[in-house]
Amino acid sequence: MRVLRLAAVLLIAAAGAWLGIFLSGTVHAPVGPVDTGMSLRPAWRGETVVDASPLGTLSFRTHTAPLRLRVTLENIDQEQAKALLEDPRLTDRLPGIIERDLRDGIETLVIRSILCATAGALVAVLLVFRRPVFAFVGITAAAVGLAATGAAAAVTFRPQSLMEPRYTGLIAAAPSLIGSAESIMTRFESYRGQLTKLVTNVSKLYDTVSGLPVYDADPGSVRVLHVSDIHINPIAWDVTRSLKDQFKIDLIVDTGDLSDHGTKAENYITDDIGKLGVPYVFIRGNHDSKITQRAVARHKNAIVLDNAEATVAGLRIYGLGDPRFTPDKSVAADNDPARLEQFGREHAVRLPQPGPDLVAVHDPTIGKGFSGSTPMILAGHAHRRSTTVFASGTRVLVQGSTGGAGLRALEHAEPTPVQASVLYFDKRTHRLQAWDDVTLGGLGEQSIHIRRHVEPDPGRMISPAPTNAPSPTGTITGTTTPASPLWHEGQSSPMLQRSPTEGVGNRM
* Predicted pLDDT of residue 214: 37
- Are the C-beta atoms of 286 and 326 separated by less than 8 Å? yes
pLDDT value, residue 481: 31
Residue 113: Cβ-neighbour burial (10 angstroms; 0-12, 13-18, 19+) = buried
Q: Of 266-280, 299-313, 484-498, which range is least confident?
A: 484-498
Distance CA 159, CA 191 (A): 6
Do 167 and 174 touch, CB atoms closer than 8 A?
A: yes
Q: Taking the model in full, what pTM does it have? A: 0.67
| SS3 category, 452 | strand
Decide: helix, strand or coil at residue 240: helix
pLDDT, averaged across the chain: 76
Q: Which of 22-36, 161-175, 366-380, 431-445 has the highest mean pLDDT?
A: 366-380
Side-chain half-sphere exposure of 135, counting CA atoms within 13 A: 12
pLDDT in tens, 232-281: 888 888 888 888 888 889 999 999 999 988 889 889 999 999 999 999 99
CATH homologous superfamily, domain 221-502: Metallo-dependent phosphatases (3.60.21.10)
Whether the CA torsion 189, 192, 195, 199 is positive or negative: it is: negative
Picking from 447, 448, 443, 445, the residue whose alpha carbon sits closest to that of residue 410 is 443
Contact yes or no for 149/66 (Cβ under 8 A): yes
Q: Which residues pair with 75 in a beta bridge?
A: 35
Reported as type and span, the H/E element at residue 356 is: none
Q: Could you give the angle at which helices 191-207 and 78-86 cross, rounded to 10 degrees?
A: 120
**Alpha carbon distance 454, 422 (integer Å):** 12
For CATH 3.60.21.10, list the domain ranges present in the chain: 221-502
| Bridge partners of residue 448, in order along the sequence | 440
Does the pLDDT value for residue 307 go beyond 80? yes
Q: Is residue 476 over pLDDT 60?
A: no
State pLDDT tens for residues 328-377: 655 567 788 999 999 999 999 999 888 999 999 999 999 999 999 999 99
